[in-house]
Amino acid sequence: MTNDDTIATAGSAEQRIDSATDAIRGMSHDLAKEVAPPLTWLDRVSAAAREAPIQSLAIAFLIGILLARR
């Protein structure tokens, strides 16, 4: 076995490790999607409020005004 063979084998091993790592990550993402419960409307509203709290507060204020006028 020459030095070139050792380098080629090491590269091949690294490629196999990388492909195995990608496969495991893919399977874990798929499993997480299956296990996670589907988002409800309340989860979506909560996420939107976390992303844009001032805009969510303004929308809630306007909805409150519309409901109060009825």
Identify the top-confidence range among 7-11, 36-40, 41-45. Answer: 41-45
Confidence of residue 38 (pLDDT cuts 50, 70, 90): confident
Q: Which residue has the higher pLDDT, 50 or 39?
A: 50
pLDDT band at 6 (very low <50, low <70, confident <90, very high): low
Of 21-25, 32-36, 41-45, the range with the highest mean pLDDT is: 21-25
The half-sphere exposure of 55 on its side-chain side, counting CA atoms within 13 A, is 8
What average pLDDT does this structure show over 37-63?
A: 90
DSSP state of 36: S
- pTM of the full predicted structure? 0.42
Question: 48 and 56 in contact (C-beta within 8 Å)?
Answer: yes
Domains of the chain: which residue ranges? 1-36, 38-70
Cα–Cα distance measured from residue 10 to residue 52, given in angstroms and rounded to the nearest whole number: 49
Distance CA(29)–CA(53), nearest Å, equals 29
List C-alpha distances in Å: 8 to 1, 12, 16, 19, 21. 11, 6, 12, 16, 20
